[in-house]
A = this chain, B = another copy of it.
Amino acid sequence: MHVHHDKIELRTKGKGTYEITDEVQEKVNQSGVRNGTVTVFVQHTSCSLTTMENAAPAARRDVERFFDELVPEDADYEHDDEGPDDMPAHIRMVLTRSSETIPIADGRIQMGTWQGVFLFEHRRDAHSRKISVTIIGE
């Protein structure tokens, strides 16, 4: 049993979902771990993680639209230092996820056929995002 730490760095170009499934699998490959778990953890509070349908782009657009409506930018927030997309970003992060732990068997992350891991960017501007990847296994 060993622990392997790695990091995915991602340059986002505004609000939306960015798939990182292949990058996570690549980190597992590099670790040499055949059986265990990989924990993906996003070190930010204005973007988040989610697993999601990765086949239909329309499904992703519907998810993004839903969050735009559920947590609108034009609501009356107390905290708005960084603009109208600041506070909605923090709330959308709370409503989704910061960490996801995925099983690894025979060297493969055990996701469903149309299931992907995504960084969910909630800010309008481009950002450099750090995602911690921790692999524990044998």
Q: Which residues of A contact B (CB under 8 A)?
A: 1-3, 5, 35-37, 39, 41, 43-46, 50-53, 56, 58-59, 61-63, 65-66, 70-71, 77-79, 81, 87, 90-91, 93-103, 105, 110-112, 114-115, 130, 132, 134, 136-138
Complex-state Cα separation, A115 to B129, whole angstroms: 14
Contacts of A44 in B (CB 8 A): 112, 115
Counting from the closest, the 5 A-B pairs by CB-CB distance are A43-B112, A58-B79, A103-B134, A59-B79, A1-B1
Q: How far is the CB of A35 from the nearest CB of chain B, in Å?
A: 5
* Given A66-B71, A98-B100, CB of A138 within 8 Å of CB of B45: no
Q: How many copies does the complex hold?
A: 3
Please tell me if the beta carbons of A99 and B102 are within 8 angstroms of each other in the complex.
Answer: yes
Contacts of A79 in B (CB 8 A): 56, 58-59, 61-62
Please tell me if the beta carbons of B53 and A90 are within 8 angstroms of each other in the complex.
Answer: yes
Complex-state Cα separation, A137 to B103, whole angstroms: 14
